[in-house]
Copies of this chain bind each other. A is one copy, B any other.
Amino acid sequence: MSPLEILREFQDHEDLVVRLAKLEIDSTRLTEYESFLTEEIKEAVAKEPGVLTMYAVQDQTKPHHVTIMEIYANDSAYQAHLNTPHFLKYKNGTREMVNSLELIDLDPIVFGVRDN
């Protein structure tokens, strides 16, 4: 079953872990932070079957306010993610750039994604 099918039929996948990470980044190091984040997310969705989506965005008026919507297949996929080399590289590499981090656990209401 593809990630998109899982998202659309989330009612049948009670184990999904959905989370919003809200970060405030040191503005003077934002470009550097974005480079770490981009590499980490690309590796995660390429290598980890349990990482379904990671949407990383920044406020237009406050670009150092970064939000990431993360969807994992289940909690063990999330726990495994925390121990991957790419996550640890990101976490350790950006530690000094992140001024604050808030994690919000979410439940899906509906995931709408176009087919084509």
A41 near B112 with CB under 8 A, answer: yes
Tell me how many chains of this kind the complex includes.
2
Give chain A interface residues in 3-58, CB to chain B under 8 Å.
Answer: 3-4, 18, 20, 34, 37-38, 41-42, 44-45, 49, 51-58
Residues A114 and B37 in contact, CB atoms below 8 Å apart: no
Please judge, given known A-B contacts A18-B57, A114-B51, A114-B52, whether A38 and B3 are in contact too, CB under 8 Å: no
Q: How far is the CA of A22 from the CA of B36 in the complex (A)?
A: 28
CB of A106 within 8 A of CB of B54, answer: no
Interface residues on A, range: 35 or more
Residues of A within 8 A of B (CB): 2-4, 18, 20, 34, 37-38, 41-42, 44-45, 49, 51-61, 63, 66-67, 69, 104-116
